[in-house]
Structure 1
């Protein structure tokens, strides 16, 4: 996130309504480990498309782990949104977006909305 935030919640919008298995981890370090998991839905059996998970922790890094649901479809996240407040100025404003992988015709810069 580029700065330390009081992260209140994380909302995930999946591509379809099914039983996604996921975890959310938060940390002040980019070296996130299993000990940093604050939401564990790795045994989820409920069909969901949009979920909002309460976090209520200060952190700088957020990682979402997603596994294939029981239907064995490829998990697809359409959007991840965090809600909270920075203790400092917005250090991401005006900066370029990056991604570890981009799809054809879908550059990382298209994901940024201001």
Structure 2
């Protein structure tokens, strides 16, 4: 896995973001190519599908939270945490942590 660290990556973070893969170096913050993550194809597929759903609680054009957005984000975070635990189970030589999204709570007063 390639990142900005000068040594091999052993600390990983599962985090959603637009236009990015779901796994990051937890040391330097580099987004890692999901194809390079030594996980099962099934888990990579799950992580890819999960990250594609990132932000489905937002109206990005209006910069507003959609109705039910807080609940959608909470469900997204729950699924992400499950995937991070599965990744930790598969990658025993790594430390994996989950970083939940909190954008819906920031926009809670601005619903479209």
What TM-score, normalized to structure 2?
0.28
Higher strand share: 1
Higher helix share: 2
- Higher relative CO (Cα under 8 Å, sequence separation at least 6) belongs to 1
What TM-score, normalized to structure 1?
0.28
